[in-house]
């Protein structure tokens, strides 16, 4: 369910989704991709996309097929964050990216998401990278929620970081299996 609505194709007007897959037309330039997204999503903000591209040091005249994996990751982040959808879902946004690119992406998330109007959901195995910007964490095992907590509460109540907390929960779940 998304906002009380059963998930189907029509929910795409409420969810800006970053997949871990590359899915762009390789013959597009970044600039052409921005124009294409403008035609596909009513909430796509072209000006915001250009600001994100500048922030992430993307050359908008370059063809996507000539971009490094890191720059393709930045492009995916750019078009995802340029939407003004109520929900932004990032699936493994750091997969295969070097630490400098990861830092740029995290900076982009902080700067270009309106947390007063948008909910940011990040699915990642790179928790250490994003822990400083998290409010809540949900631990899944085989598609089932096994734990959920506020990050600040984990630190205060347990005196450990989120990764340690998740490891303890996961280990306990394994032993009780």
pLDDT 10s digits, 117-129: 999 999 888 788 7
Dist. CA 132–CA 116, nearest whole Å: 18
CB neighbours (10 Å) of residue 79? 22
Q: pLDDT at position 154, please?
A: 92
Q: pLDDT at position 99, please?
A: 77
Q: Interior CA angle at 99 toward 94 and 103, to 5°?
A: 75
Q: pLDDT at position 174, please?
A: 67
Q: pLDDT at position 62, please?
A: 97
pTM of the predicted structure, to 2 decimals? 0.85
Q: CB under 8 Å to 73, separation ≥6 — which residues? A: 93, 94, 96, 97, 101, 105
Low-confidence ranges of the chain (pLDDT < 70): 96, 101, 104, 108, 173-175, 177
Q: pLDDT at position 60, please?
A: 97
Q: pLDDT at position 44, please?
A: 97
Q: pLDDT at position 65, please?
A: 95
Residues of the chain with CATH 3.40.50.300: 9-126
CB neighbours (10 Å) of residue 49? 27
Strands 119-123, 87-91: pairing is: parallel
Q: If DSSP codes are grouped into helix, strand and coil, which group holds residue 117?
A: coil
Distance of CA 126 to the CA centre of its chain: 12
Q: pLDDT at position 31, please?
A: 98
* CATH architecture of structural domain 9-126: 3-Layer(aba) Sandwich (3.40)
């Amino acid at each position: 369910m998304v906002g009380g609505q059963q998930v189907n194709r029509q929910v795409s007007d409420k969810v800006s989704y970053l997949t871990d897959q590359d899915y762009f037309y390789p013959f597009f330039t970044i600039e052409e991709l921005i124009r294409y997204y403008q035609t596909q999503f009513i909430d796509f903000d072209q000006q915001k996309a250009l600001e994100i591209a500048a922030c992430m040091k993307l050359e908008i005249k370059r063809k996507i097929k000539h971009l490094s994996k890191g720059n393709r990751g930045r492009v995916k982040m750019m078009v995802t964050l340029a939407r003004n959808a109520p929900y932004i879902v990032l699936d493994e946004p750091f997969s295969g990216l070097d630490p400098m690119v990861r830092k740029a992406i995290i900076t982009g998330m902080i700067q270009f998401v309106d947390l007063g109007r948008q909910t940011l959901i990040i699915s990642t195995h790179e928790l250490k990278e994003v822990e400083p910007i998290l409010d809540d964490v949900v631990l899944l095992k085989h598609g089932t929620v096994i734990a959920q907590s506020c990050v600040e509460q984990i630190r205060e109540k347990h005196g450990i970081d989120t990764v340690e907390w998740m490891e303890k929960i996961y280990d306990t779940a394994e032993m009780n299996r």
